[in-house]
Structure formats: C-alpha cells, structure tokens
Amino acid sequence: MSDDDPPPPRGAVRRGEGEVTQWPRGLVEYVPSGAAEVPPDPEEDRLLQRANLAGRLLAVLAGRGGEVASAIEELRRIDGLRRAGQRAEATARLDRLLATIDARSGALPPP
C-alpha cells in the first residue's frame, strides 16, 4: 500500500449509529485495543468507551451552566450495571442518557 492509496474501508456502522458515539476513537481517555486505522476489535469495551464519552459531554454541559447532577448519578448507575455484567440494561440506559445529553446541549446558549 502506497501513500497515494486510499485507506481501507472502516467497519460497518449500523444505520442511526454514528461512529463517534459508538466507537469514540481519538477522544481523551479512549483506550483502543488496536491501531487507530483498523476497525475496532470486538473485544474492545465499547460500553466503557461510550460511558467515558458521556462523562466528557456532561463536563462540557456543566461548563456551559447546565445542571448535570442527575445525569452523573445515572452514569454511576450505568457503570454499576456494567461492572455487574448487566450489559444490555447498561447499554439501553446509556443510549437514553446520550440522547438526553444531546437534547439538553441544544437548549443551552452557545459558549
């Protein structure tokens, strides 16, 4: 492969799932298990990476004057579920939390 060749295609992303929220590579605290230019390893803890992303977004909301205490408590509950092996419930709750963060971020004035 030369420098002029296009990069190989990335792994498929399901419709409605952006790569940033599903595999937030390049963000602070993201811990990849492989090289950044290859699709994520199935063993990578996507749930943990997405929870880290939610925590970062909550920090941004708090910095813009948003109320985040209840969302942080929910993130703690999600982490407890993840650690207890209840991944399906943790994933569903994290999906709802990320949707809530997204909706609330649009309601705040720009920085």
pTM over 0.85: no
CB of 75 within 8 A of CB of 55? yes
List pLDDT tens digits, range 56-103.
899 989 988 888 999 999 999 999 999 999 999 999 999 999 999 988
Q: How confident is the model at residue 103, as a pLDDT?
A: 86
In the structure, how many helices (H) and strands (E) does the chain have?
A: 4, 0
Q: Mean of the per-residue pLDDT values for the chain?
A: 76
pLDDT band, very low/low/confident/very high, at 5 (cuts 50, 70, 90): low
Please enumerate in sequence order all residues whose Cβ is within 8 A of that of 55, keeping only pairs 6 or more positions apart, or say none.
75
